[in-house]
Structure 1
Amino acid sequence: MRAIVLGIAAALATGLSLAPASALPVAPGGTVAPAVSVEQAQYVTRRVVRRGPRCVVKVTRTRGPFGRVVVRKVRRCF
């Protein structure tokens, strides 16, 4: 029953999406902006000046004797 309802809903959705654009109602007034109000896009780039070292902790997990997990943490600064 659920599959039938979903199938009908999908068929209606695809049928409505295939309607030509000319069949859709047109909103009154100018929906397209005039060419005067269109502005150029501005691309802004920003560089961040980092001071001092940047450190990360590299974690290595291995199996030690008797199957225990050995965690080694190494701090690397560059």
Structure 2
Amino acid sequence: MRAIVLGIAAALATGLSLAPASAMPVVSGHAVAPAASIEQAQYVTRRVVRRGPRCTVQVTRTRGPFGRVVVRKVRRCF
């Protein structure tokens, strides 16, 4: 069963790769589209309404009197 499926797939792959050049899609020589087909760009701006304060935690690490690391966390809201 697997051999039959693989044989059919191989036959289709070789058949499609040997297609004549006339059957291939036509590619135009111009890389840039003509001016008539260029449309005006539309810019959409979205504004987010933020309710309530936004808080972050500011972490300050310093050395204490005996060389230990002292971590101070201060919450800043804006």
TM-score (norm 1): 0.56
Dislocated runs of 4+, deviation >2 Å: 27-32
Offset of residue 41 of structure 1: 1.9
| Residue of structure 2 in register with 1:54 after alignment | 54
| Residue of structure 2 in register with 1:8 after alignment | none
Letter in 1 for 2:34: P
Gaps (5+ residues) in structure 2? Answer: 1-26
| Alpha-carbon distance between aligned partners in 1 of 2:48 and 2:32, rounded to the nearest angstrom | 39
Task: Report the structure number with the largest CA radius of gyration.
Answer: 2
Offset of residue 28 of structure 1: 4.9
| SS of equivalent to 2:61 | strand
| Residue of structure 2 in register with 1:70 after alignment | 70
Letter in 2 for 1:68: R
Superposition CA RMSD, Å: 1.8
**Residue deviations 1:33-78, cap 9 Å, x none?**
1111111222222111001111110111111111111000011222
Gaps (5+ residues) in structure 1? Answer: 1-26
Letter in 2 for 1:52: G
